[in-house]
Structure 1
Amino acid sequence: MVKAVVLGAAGGIGQPLALLLKTNPRVTELGLFDIVNTPGVAADLSHIATPAKVEGYLPPDDGLAKTLTGADIVVIPAGVPRKPGVHDLFKINAGIVHDLAVGIATTAPKAFVLVISNPVNSTVPIVAEVFKKHGVFNPKRLFGVTTLDVVRASTFVAEIIGDLSKSPNVVVPVVGGHSGVTIVPLLSQSSHPLPSSFASEKLEALTTRIQFGGDEVVKAKDGAGSATLSMAYAGAEFAAKVIDALAGKKGLVAPSYVHLDADKEGAAVLKKEIGKELDYFSTNVEIGPNGVERIIPLGKLTEYEKGLIAAAVPELTTNIEKVSCYQRPR
């Protein structure tokens, strides 16, 4: 029996994400929270014939606390999406994520927390800092959801191979962070290698497409929003692995942006590989019933991939350090 919660459940990511979680057979309760429309979303989903009982709350009358009570897993897609004219998501979304984190810390401090709200490189550290202030921080239970980068990489590689039917089985490790140059696809480790004729300029173009795939969607939507459906799919995929781990399933591996204290031994190896002391990094992790069981090393990298990581680290450092200067407006 699992209670899953979606914070930001009435939004462009939240609604399809809640739908996908409603169809997960392990979910027996689904709590939804947003500042508008949540009861209607909950009523709509409640008509779907799956085991999960659905309840939706708004802020009045301690709606956030009611939503979070008894939560096993909390997914946060809340916030403003990427779109033209919005140049600093951090300033807008940091406050939203901060307040939701306070609610989790006081009502569901032992829940697994999955952060989707952008910019993930900075919003995950915000949640961590709130949890630390409340004395409930457990690095093993806090995840930045970077699955969309892997989903995109897998799809794009399948397109190049010329067989989209293979895309569910294509696995491309993607490490670093979850924005722009901090996204580092390890294409040399793809489960389905690229053609031997794949020239270096094509490799660079593919890498750029994976790193800036979100821009492709924003442009195609012509100012109407960003990646919502693909992000909901990716978020549900990652949440399903966490839910399976809660149920006792072993050997589950998925990419996530985590605090490296989640596995200090694995982190020591990782830090040597990237050549930098960082508190957060996205890489494959093994997930178990207690959260992060193991941080998995990057493995053998090409010189090109080493260069990508070298370019990613300064940007990632800036994203993380930005949080230390953040003060929640009163």
Structure 2
Amino acid sequence: MSKVTVIGAGNVGATCANVLAHKDIVKEVVLLDIVGNLAKGKALDSWQQAPIDYYSTHLVGTDDYAATADSDIVVITAGVPRKPGMSRDDLISTNAKIVNSVTESIMKHSSNPIIIVVSNPLDVMTYASWKSSGLDSSRVMGMAGILDTARYRAFLAEALNVSPKDIQAVLMGGHGDTMVPLPRYTTVSGIPVTELLDSETIEKIVDRTRVGGGELVQLMGTSAWYAPGAAA
């Protein structure tokens, strides 16, 4: 893969760019933000990390969409994060305008990218980006399936005192209260989780997964960024 662009150099976007660089699977990561010096500074900081962590992905920061030209993948993290007491749906009006504008700017410079949406409320923003892009629906997606499944696996690993790497899980539905973790399709090193935990404990973990993002907002006063950035 040649080029990935991350739109938004806030906590989630910067984390996404940094994680992607560490994987060393793309030649260049472009980090774009309307605050150009913020994107340039974070990209430069990550690039200076390369000799320490031994990766060769080059990072570029910018506020100019021309620098995103011919991107293979574009990750949209731009938008207003949640604050305590807010639901994801409270962000629809503001973030829809941002995501639509970002998508239109992307498409002026990249003809057929894959677009991955992170902005909340994620399911609605993914639809908005798809409509604005004119791309086939298979090329526009949200990252929530990865994030929600990761949270579910992390909570199970904590309860069982095992590595998250040993847990295989399936989670369906939207990003929020409508998500549906599936314990009967969840295993720990091949052993069904229903044989390792009682139904009450599993249900508590399922409920915690559904409000996993809200728990972090309450703790930090804003939306999470490490796991969402890595999930994207």
TM-score (norm 2): 0.88
Given candidates 57, 60, 74, the residue that maps to 1:55 is 60
The amino acid of 2:201's aligned partner reads: K
Change (3 A) 1:53 1:212: same
Change (3 A) 1:51 1:197: closer
Identify the residue that residue 154 of structure 2 maps to in structure 1. Answer: 155
Deviation digits for residues 32-73 of structure 1 (CA, Å, limit 9, x no counterpart): 101111111122122223322222112xxxx12x23202011
Change (3 A) 1:92 1:86: farther
Are residues 1:173 and 2:180 paired? Answer: no
Structure 2 spans left out of the alignment, 5+ residues: none
Change (3 A) 1:85 1:198: closer
Identify the residue that residue 228 of structure 1 maps to in structure 2. Answer: 225
Q: Is the 8 A contact 1:161 1:195 kept in 2?
A: no
Counterpart mapping for 1:1-330 below 5 A: 1-8=1-8, 10-36=9-35, 37-47=38-48, 48-49=50-51, 50-58=55-63, 63-64=64-65, 66-87=66-87, 88-132=90-134, 137-146=135-144, 147-163=146-162, 165=163, 167-180=164-177, 182-192=178-188, 193-196=192-195, 198-221=197-220, 223=221, 225-235=222-232
Give me the whole-angstrom Cα distance separating, in 2, the residues matched to 1:183 and 1:149. 8
Q: Is the 8 A contact 2:187 2:193 kept in 1?
A: no
CA positional deviation for 1:24: 2.2
Give me the whole-angstrom Cα distance separating, in 2, the residues matched to 1:99 and 1:129. 12
Identify the residue that residue 277 of structure 1 maps to in structure 2. Answer: none
Q: RMSD of aligned C-alpha atoms?
A: 1.7
CA positional deviation for 1:125: 0.6
Percent identity between the two aligned chains: 33
The amino acid of 1:57's aligned partner reads: T
Give me the whole-angstrom Cα distance separating, in 1, the residues matched to 2:186 and 2:132. 37
Change (3 A) 1:95 1:194: same
Task: Provide runs of 4+ in structure 1 moved above 4 Å.
Answer: none
Change (3 A) 1:232 1:197: closer
CA positional deviation for 1:86: 4.2
Quick one: higher RCO (CA 8 Å, sep 6+), 1 or 2?
Answer: 2
Give me the whole-angstrom Cα distance separating, in 1, the residues matched to 2:103 and 2:199. 43
Give me the whole-angstrom Cα distance separating, in 1, the residues matched to 2:218 and 2:84. 9
The amino acid of 1:144's aligned partner reads: G
TM-score (norm 1): 0.63
Q: Is the 8 A contact 1:161 1:194 kept in 2?
A: no
Give me the whole-angstrom Cα distance separating, in 2, the residues matched to 1:195 and 1:176. 21
Structure 1 spans left out of the alignment, 5+ residues: 236-330
- The answer to which of 76-85 and 107-116 deviates more is 76-85
CA positional deviation for 1:220: 1.4
Give me the whole-angstrom Cα distance separating, in 2, the residues matched to 1:216 and 1:122. 21
Identify the residue that residue 295 of structure 1 maps to in structure 2. Answer: none
Give me the whole-angstrom Cα distance separating, in 2, the residues matched to 1:143 and 1:188. 26
CA positional deviation for 1:195: 4.6
